[in-house]
Amino acid sequence: MPENRRPFDYLSPLDARYYGTDTELYAALHPYLSEDATLAYRIKVEQALIAELEASGLAPAGTSAQMAEAVRAVTAEEVYAEERRIRHDVRALVNCICARLPEDVRGCVHLFATSYDIVDTARAVQMRDFARHVLLPDLSALGVTMIGMARAQATTVQIGRTHGRHAEPITVGYWLANHIDRLGQRAEMVALTAGHLRGKFSGAVGAHNQLALQWPADPAEFERRVLQRLGLRPSDRAVATQIVQPEFLTDFGHALVSTLGVLANIADDFRHLMRSEIDELAQRTDRTQVGSSTMPHKVNPVNFENVKSLWKAFVPRMVTLYMDQISEHQRDLTNSASSRFFNELVAAVDYAARRLRAAIADTDINPQAIERNLRASSAWIIAEPLYIALALSGHTDPYETSRELIERAVGQSKSLAELVRTDPDARRLVDGLEPQHQAVILDPSIYVGDAAQRTHLVCEVWEERLEPARLGAALRRPGDHTLVA
């Protein structure tokens, strides 16, 4: 019998550090992702089976109720003890349930089922429930926080950066809007692929062999009814091996890992904007926080670094999921241990979303620095609109002309606007442009395209679509949709 132990007795940083010591995170994840939860979901599938057997007249009336009573008392401790004895995890669970049932109904428990009818089906329900009740709401909350910031900064002009170098201006809101839009689409992909997860109840080699003993005409009908009790469906043609076709989980994994990629990109942007020289964002601090163990003044973007670091830790695990697509013949078991680690991936993505949300909520914007950085490049910003304005005015070599003009200004340590005032050639060029183009060249901070309008559009769309109930809609109607048709 394993002892109760402190989180610090454990190995995994998820358990020992992030989950085991964070009361709120623990409470949120335990019902879905703990080993206890995995067992509980397997029990749920066994119950759905019994209920259907009872409905079919193959189990005595009342068996479901007896079973409901029995499973209430089953503990992981005794299941593991039984597994240690007989070395089979699902059979151990069945034995523990049976031990609490009258002899005459024991034969009904697990009847017609092979282990992976239970295991794979349970995982589908577990992941769908976690997505609906925890992950999607957490992604939604992150989106909402970002939307608030984007709305507030929709018109704050900021220099855009490509290759780390100043390019053309955008607004702070627009920078965020692009990330919100990507995040929103990923959240919908998570919902779609979670809602697309399937169960099975077709036996050891997937051909409904065992069900055909009882229902030779349409053995898959019983499978459909058991799964329906769990809000699930089998694969569209109800074909399988011992396990569910792996791609449903692979797609869900891809949704998770690519969501983590968006989170990491957001985190990277925030931490780079907190660089000392850029300083456009800063982490809000309080008196008790220690920045560095020897440099008391340093406030570091540790939360954003943490999100990026989780990405490093988890994105390669997608390769494991791709490896698990391959199973020899009607299955080998080489995906057993590896797929148990799937819960870690799901937990990590959720934790990253929560931590990123908190970190963004804790971020201050420094308008002075944003303004300063923008102004530092105002001369250069003009190059592009100048080039285009020249082209639109019919200039034959606008690119080279614009380039030469910029270089002349730089050579004289002047902004282009200043050059225009002193250099007749430059003046002549500018005078030949449309008035609204001249305006942009005089005030490059208006060269922001539709940044503000698009920001509001994006916010509006995702305020609606990131609403958890709406996100969860993909999950509500199991099987009414298909991913690929």
Q: Binders of a second copy among 184-223, rule CB under 8 A?
A: 185-186, 188-189, 191-192, 202-214, 216, 218-220
How many angstroms separate the CA atoms of 81 and 96, rounded? Answer: 10
The region of 131-139, 141-149, 342-350, 417-425 touching a second copy under the rule CB under 8 A is: 342-350
> With left for phi above 0 and alpha for psi between -120 and 50, is residue 478 left, alpha or beta?
beta
Q: Does position 480 bind a second copy by CB under 8 A?
A: no
In whole angstroms, give the CA distance from residue 383 to residue 168: 9
Instruction: Establish how many alpha carbons lie within 13 A of residue 393's alpha carbon, considering only the half-sphere containing its beta carbon.
Output: 23
Amino acid identity of 205? V
232 vs 348 by CB, closer to a second copy: 348
Q: Determine whether 69 is exposed, middle or buried from the number of CB atoms within 10 Å of its CB (0-12, 13-18, 19+).
A: exposed
> Which of residues 449, 469, 476, 477 is near a second copy by CB under 8 A?
449
Site string for a second copy, 9-48 (x = CB under 8 A): xxxxxxxxx-xxx-x-----xx--xxxx--x---------
55, 141, 278, 417: residue in contact with a second copy (rule CB under 8 A): 278
Give the tokens for residue 234. 């089998």
Binding mask 407-436 for a second copy (x = CB under 8 A): x--x-------------------------x
Residues paired with 166 in a beta bridge: 161
Query: Which of the ranges 41-49, 66-74, 123-131, 283-291 carries the binding residues for a second copy, by CB under 8 A?
Result: 283-291
Footprint (CB under 8 A) of a second copy, residues 81-120: 85-88, 90-92, 94, 103-104, 106-108, 110-115
By CB under 8 A, tell whether 164 contacts a second copy.
yes
Tokens describing residue 274: 């907190």
| Shortest distance, position 222 Cβ to a second copy, whole Å | 11
Distance CA 271, CA 160 (A): 16
Which residue in the set 47, 126, 156, 373 belongs to the binding site for a second copy (CB under 8 A)? 373
- Span near a second copy by CB under 8 A; candidates 41-49, 134-142, 376-384, 422-430: 376-384
The residue type at 55: A
* Distance, CA of 460 to CA of 32 (rounded, Å): 32
CA atoms within 13 A on the CB side of 323: 13
Query: Quick one: which of 369, 357, 364, 356 has its CA closest to 284?
Result: 364
Burial class (CB in 10 A: 0-12, 13-18, 19+), 26: middle
Quote the crossing angle between the two packed helices 424-431 and 435-442, to the nearest 10°: 130
Kindly state whether residue 454 participates in binding a second copy, applying the rule CB under 8 A: yes
Distance in Å, CB of 229 to a second copy, minimum: 20
Among 142, 172, 264, 360, binds a second copy (CB under 8 A): 264
**Identified binder of a second copy from the candidate list 242, 363, 378, 415, rule CB under 8 A:** 242
Q: Which stretch binds a second copy (CB under 8 A): 66-74, 136-144, 274-282, 424-432?
A: 274-282
